[in-house]
Each structure stands twice: as C-alpha cells, then as structure tokens.
Amino acid sequence: MDLQLFEYLQTLLTERRKDLFKKVLAQRTRHFTVVTEDVYQLHNTSAVMRTCDIFGIQDLHVVEELESKRIDKEIAMGAQKWVNLYRYDTIKDCISEMKKKGYQVIATTPHNDSSLLQDFDVTKKSAFFFGKENDGLSDVVMQQADAFLKIPMYGFTESLNISVSAAIILQHVVTKLKETKVNWQLSEAEKLEIEMIWTQKTIKSSTEIIERYYKEKNL
C-alpha cells in the first residue's frame, strides 16, 4: 500500500471521521465470518450485510450458484462501504476457501443434531452458513459442515427469517467472544488496509483525486 497516498487522502477527512474509523476498526474481527447461500430475497442478504457491520464482522461471503443478486444499497444502509463482500459461483468453492483460511464450517439449522447457541464454543474461528428461506442449506454444506448450530425456539414456528437469525447469532457469539482471552482483533496491517478502503469510499471523486495525485507526483 502506498503510505504517502494514504496520508494524503487522510488530510481530506475530518478529525471526527478519522477518529471514528480508528474506533470502529478496534472492534472489527475476522475471527467470525458469515456466508449466505443462494438467498432468494434480496433484502435479506442486504440486511445480513448491515448486521455484519453492526456486530463488527468485517467479511460477508455470498454464494450465488442458483441465484444472482445485487446488494440492495437502501436496505444495507451504507454497510456496503464498510463490510468486505466476496462472491462465489459455487458453494464448493466457498467452503474450500473458508477451510483454507482456517474457519470451521458451521451450518445454521433448526434440524439435525445441532448445538444450542448458548453452548457454542466461541473460541474457534468459525464461518456461519445461512441458507435459503424455504429450503435451508444445501446438501453440500450439510455434508461438509464441521458442526451444526440452532437458536432455541419455543413456539410453533420452526425457523426464523435469515436476517433475524444472523442478528441473534452474531450478537451472542461476538458478545461472548469479547469475554474471552482470544486474540480476535484485526492485525495492524489489516486495519491499515481496511482504513485505506474506507477512506477512498468516503471521499467524493476519490478515483479522480488519486489519478491527479500520481500525475502531480510524477511531474
């Protein structure tokens, strides 16, 4: 990363904005991440992105093997600026990438021999997979999952909306994680990289400003 460019762009931000970036980055984590698999309803994926931002989850992975969607900017309410979005054409590619990065694959489902949310071991690096509204997760995820997780429910209804499920699970596991001694924070290099991205997304016409910066620098 061009540190001189970063320092220059930072001069275009207010002190309040820079302080806010530092404060939020201090609470960001990649210890947990979220995966949505072929979620039909656009607003649900967008709402999950917003939930990730609220609870400090930096990365959201979206599998679009059957459904091709776009993040609804209005529903995400700006979260697309702050959360890294990764797209996959197949669920197998996504699972492979998660395991390569050291995540255990956690299938969220009210069925199977699922662990209750309150019993979940938050010390392990985990990717939470959420499936389609009606059909749940695919057989591929269910077969390759390292563990299953469910939210305790006491009524007639067996399932929750995906965005609600994600909010309940993330609120619980993130709160519990911060009570442990696990090093869940981002590295300084990660913070700097993300802060650079946020800075560029915050500044209007940042692409043109950067082009002008390099042009003047090379004169």
**Whether residues 140 and 198 fall in one domain:** no
Res. 79: pLDDT tops 90: no
Closest CA to 149 of 89, 185, 104, 180: 104
Across 22-36, 55-69, 99-113, 142-156, least confident range: 55-69
Closest CA to 128 of 115, 153, 147: 147
> What CA–CA distance (Å, rounded) separates 34 from 62?
8
Mean pLDDT of the chain: 90
Closest CA to 60 of 92, 146, 122, 44: 44
Q: What is the DSSP string of 67-120?
A: ------HHHHTTGGGTSEEEEES-HHHHHHHHHHTTPEEEEE-SSSSPEEGGG-
Instruction: Please count the structural domains in the chain.
Output: 2
Closest CA to 149 of 165, 161, 163: 165
**Whether residues 154 and 193 fall in one domain:** no
- Neighbouring-strand partners of residue 88: 63
**Whether residues 201 and 116 fall in one domain:** no
**Whether residues 124 and 196 fall in one domain:** no
**Whether residues 105 and 171 fall in one domain:** yes
pLDDT bin (cut points 50, 70, 90) of residue 111 is: confident
Q: Which helix (H) or strand (E) holds 201?
A: helix 188-202
pLDDT bin (cut points 50, 70, 90) of residue 70 is: low
- Neighbouring-strand partners of residue 32: 126
- What CATH number did the domain enclosing 36 receive? 3.40.1280.10
Residue for token digits 């390099």? 214
Q: What is the pLDDT of residues 3-43, one digit of tens each?
A: 999 999 999 999 999 999 999 999 999 999 999 987 766 67
**Whether residues 77 and 91 fall in one domain:** yes
The domain in which residue 198 lies consists of 1-28+185-219
How deeply is 17 buried, as exposed, middle or buried, from its count of CB atoms within 10 A (0-12, 13-18, 19+)? middle
